[in-house]
């Protein structure tokens, strides 16, 4: 019998691996987060249409202090956090000590992933990131230089394509599969370093929906592992009505480009929470000002979601504080519904399989 395995590294099903964390949450305890997200930089070299972090780019606190970052990472590692996701906020590659920061995280035994616009990649960075990240996800957002410029505010599309080819070149040299490396050794489940998964993220809006399939074709040609698409929300560029219908059709064509080595996946449909969130302790965020928030997906940054500042208190002090429990108890599903939080779908699964125990997970 052939077992079909979903090859995409992203998806709601992953929440089932957090069975024990969810059990802890249900019994009123605060679990150790599986993933910590870091916004190391508040500054960005691009100015994207519809960017929800744009207001942060004006902040005077441009970068998280390196020594403070090291203290927090040490605490993560000691408590048992498994993955650190570096995103923004601003562009992570603008963080002056980005190589040292990732090396420090890796030295502490953490797995590291990064979101970037990819335009600041140098040869040295490309080689280092391929060797040290578990994944690198790049904002792609267009199939042509013109559309890219309209969205990102910079004429950097050709540069991005060149940078991605360099990254894939290092992957291929390291023996990972890819266009040029087909037939090379497959990655084992644990020793993935040296062969970071490199994917594209496409935020679909009124400015770029027509080019989704074209971008997917380009991403496949370059040798990326996947292209994930998602609809831009809460913006004047959000699509709806007839445009959304047409975009669904383009998305379907893009998905048909998936093959053994390259997956196109995502959704343009609005997700909704199924009540008050009970998953946020699995994936909180620390930003470049040192502020720590309940979760990384609540882009409107309500004060009620802020649980402390790591310049003032240590990570464990904030994490196990009454303020955190209070914030956890008072999330408002209406506010969570503004954006398509990945935990909306995950919560539906976790509720049925873990909370209601429909699959009798104590038995295999
Ligand atoms: S945005 Fe809301 S639903 Fe999503 S993780 Fe945060 S608190 Fe939970």
1-45 pLDDT per residue, tens = 778 777 788 889 999 999 999 999 999 999 999 999 999 999 999
* Strand arrangement of the beta sheet that strand 306-309 belongs to: 263-267, 226-231, 197-204, 135-139, 111-116, 83-87, 35-39, 285-286, 291-293, 306-309
pLDDT for res 60 = 74
Q: What pairs with residue 142 in β-bridges?
A: none
pLDDT for res 84 = 98
Residues with CB under 6 A from ligand 1: 273, 277, 279-280, 294-295, 297-298, 331, 336, 341, 343
Using N-to-C axis directions, what is the helix angle for 157-173 and 123-132, rounded to 10°? 50
Distance CA 11, CA 146 (A): 31
pTM given for the model: 0.92
pLDDT for res 88 = 87
The string of pLDDT tens digits covering residues 209-236 is 999 999 999 999 999 999 999 999 989 9
343 C-alpha vs ligand 1 centroid, how far in Å? 6
Asked if 124 contacts 167 with a C-beta cutoff of 8 angstroms, the reply is: no
Among 205, 196, 214, smallest CA distance to 116 is for: 196
What does the mean pLDDT of the chain come to? 91
Asked if 354 contacts 22 with a C-beta cutoff of 8 angstroms, the reply is: yes
The token duo for 210 is: 């027509």
Lowest-confidence range among 97-106, 184-193, 332-341?
184-193
pLDDT for res 271 = 92
Pairing of strands 291-293, 135-139: unpaired
Q: Which 3 state secondary structure label does DSSP give 61?
A: coil
Q: What percent of the chain has pLDDT over 70?
A: 94
Burial grade of 322 (CB within 10 A; 0-12, 13-18, 19 or more): exposed
Pairing of strands 306-309, 291-293: antiparallel
Please tell me the residue having the least CA distance from ligand 1 atom 2.
336
pLDDT for res 183 = 37
pLDDT for res 181 = 39
Distance CA 294, CA 280 (A): 6
301 C-alpha vs ligand 1 centroid, how far in Å? 11
Which atom of ligand 1 has the smallest separation from the CA of 336?
2
341 C-alpha vs ligand 1 centroid, how far in Å? 6
Among 237, 246, 265, smallest CA distance to 7 is for: 265
pLDDT of residue 281 exceeding 80, the answer is yes
Among 318, 364, 292, smallest CA distance to 19 is for: 364
| Mean pLDDT across 288-309 | 87
Distance CA 265, CA 252 (A): 9
The string of pLDDT tens digits covering residues 80-135 is 999 999 998 899 999 999 999 999 999 999 999 999 999 999 999 999 999 999 99
């Amino acid at each position: 019998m052939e077992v079909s395995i979903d090859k995409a590294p992203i998806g709601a099903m992953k929440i089932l691996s957090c069975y024990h964390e969810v059990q802890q949450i249900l019994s009123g305890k605060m679990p150790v987060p599986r993933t910590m997200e870091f916004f190391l930089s508040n500054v960005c070299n691009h100015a994207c249409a519809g960017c929800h972090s744009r207001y942060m780019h004006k902040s005077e606190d441009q970068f998280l202090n390196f020594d403070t970052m090291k203290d927090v990472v040490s605490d993560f590692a000691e408590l048992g956090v498994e993955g650190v996701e570096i995103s923004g906020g601003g562009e992570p590659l603008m963080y002056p000590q980005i190589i040292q920061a990732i090396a420090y995280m890796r030295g502490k035994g953490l797995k590291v992933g990064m979101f970037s616009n990819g335009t600041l990649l140098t040869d040295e960075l490309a080689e280092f990131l391929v060797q040290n990240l578990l994944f690198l996800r790049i904002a792609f957002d267009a199939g042509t230089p013109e559309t890219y410029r309209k969205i990102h505010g910079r004429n950097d599309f050709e540069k991005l394509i060149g940078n991605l080819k360099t990254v894939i070149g290092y992957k291929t040299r390291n023996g990972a599969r890819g266009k040029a490396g087909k037939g090379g050794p497959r990655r084992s489940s644990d020793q993935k370093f040296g062969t970071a998964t490199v994917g594209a993220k496409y935020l679909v809006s009124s400015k770029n929906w027509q080019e989704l399939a074209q971008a997917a074709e380009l991403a496949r040609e370059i040798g990326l592992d996947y292209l994930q698409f998602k609809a831009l929300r809460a913006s004047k560029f959000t699509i709806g009505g007839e445009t959304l219908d047409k975009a669904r059709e383009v998305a379907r064509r893009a998905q048909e480009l998936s093959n053994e080595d390259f997956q196109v996946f995502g959704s343009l449909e609005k997700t909704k929470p199924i009540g008050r969130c009970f998953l946020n302790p699995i994936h909180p965020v620390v930003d470049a000002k040192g502020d720590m928030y309940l979760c990384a997906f609540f882009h409107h940054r309500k004060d009620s979601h802020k649980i402390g500042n790591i310049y003032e208190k240590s990570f464990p002090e904030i994490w196990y504080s009454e303020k955190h429990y209070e914030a956890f108890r008072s999330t408002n599903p209406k506010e969570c519904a503004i954006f398509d939080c990945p935990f909306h779908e995950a919560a539906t699964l976790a509720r049925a399989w873990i909370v209601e125990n429909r699959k009798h997970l104590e038995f295999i």
